[in-house]
Amino acid sequence: MIETAHAKINLSLHVTGQRADGYHLLDSLVMFTSLGDEVHVAPAETLSLSIEGPFARDLDVGEDNLVLRAARSFGLPNGAAITLHKNLPVASGIGGGSADAAATLRALSRLWAVPLPDAETILALGADVPVCMTSELTRMRGIGDALETLGPAPMLDILLVNPNVGVSTAKIFNGLESKSNQPMADDMPDPFDTDNWIGWLAQQRNDLQPPALTTEETINNVLAELTAQHGCMLTRMSGSGATCFALFEGADASETAAMALRRSHPEWWVARTDEAPT
């Protein structure tokens, strides 16, 4: 059995508060792309994990791997041979680890013919894991536990760029000037009214972007280069970085931009994609 762990894009990410236990409160519009990692599961007597693919070397297959933690969260003695094909950069702001955990939960639920773990157990795996359980456009609030699914995302031509630099999520959050910011506006247009919707998105924010730019100025270079591409309608950093995304007018524009960026920055990870199926 195969499950795709779709890349997550935070189209907006507003930090609206911080709880006494340290968890940050968010208001984020999340979409998923057709590009992602793949989780393969097969029957086996014991639980095992192997990792392959272009970013496999960046992950440890030890017991703390989030895929194995997700498998153990069922609380069952069942075995499975799990193979993670790692297509997405690690710790890059597009939910790779969380999406991998969610895909593992979905795959093993099917393989073992058992219900998914409860919501509290899934959230305990990580704040982004619950939202990654679906590929629908979703508004995520609270600490990642308050989810409002909004249906399929509109058809979009998307470019993802990661400069192959690592950033510390904790350091980015600690660099926030304010942790009590305004939530997203509630007057979101119909996402399928694409021009108005992207215009509305442009008025929203990623509150983690300013501290990320201070921490790693290469992200600013990525945003500037994306913004300068013909046909680019919106550019923003996703999550705590360092991956940035750009929404384009069409496939030709995104393809031209991808080729240009690969020529000028061969050290960057550049990937064209579109919306995930639902």
Q: Which residues pair with 230 in a beta bridge?
A: none
Q: Which residue has the tokens 């050290």?
A: 267
Rounded Cα distance, 30 and 94, in Å? 10
* Residue 36 buriedness (CB in 10 A; 0-12 / 13-18 / 19+): buried
Q: Is 171 marked active-site?
A: no
Q: Are residues 208 and 241 in contact, defined by beta-carbon separation less than 8 angstroms?
A: yes
Q: Looking at 27, 37, 100, 128, which residue is catalytic?
A: 128
Of the candidates 276, 243, 266, the residue with the CA atom closest to the CA atom of residue 13: 243
Alpha carbon separation from 33 to 109, 154, 249, 277 (Å, rounded): 23, 11, 17, 8
- Phi, psi dihedral angles at 201 (to 5 degrees): -60, -40
Q: Looking at 8, 37, 86, 207, which residue is catalytic?
A: 8
Q: Is 193 marked active-site?
A: no
Q: Are residues 225 and 75 in contact, defined by beta-carbon separation less than 8 angstroms?
A: no
Catalytically active residues, by annotation = 8, 128
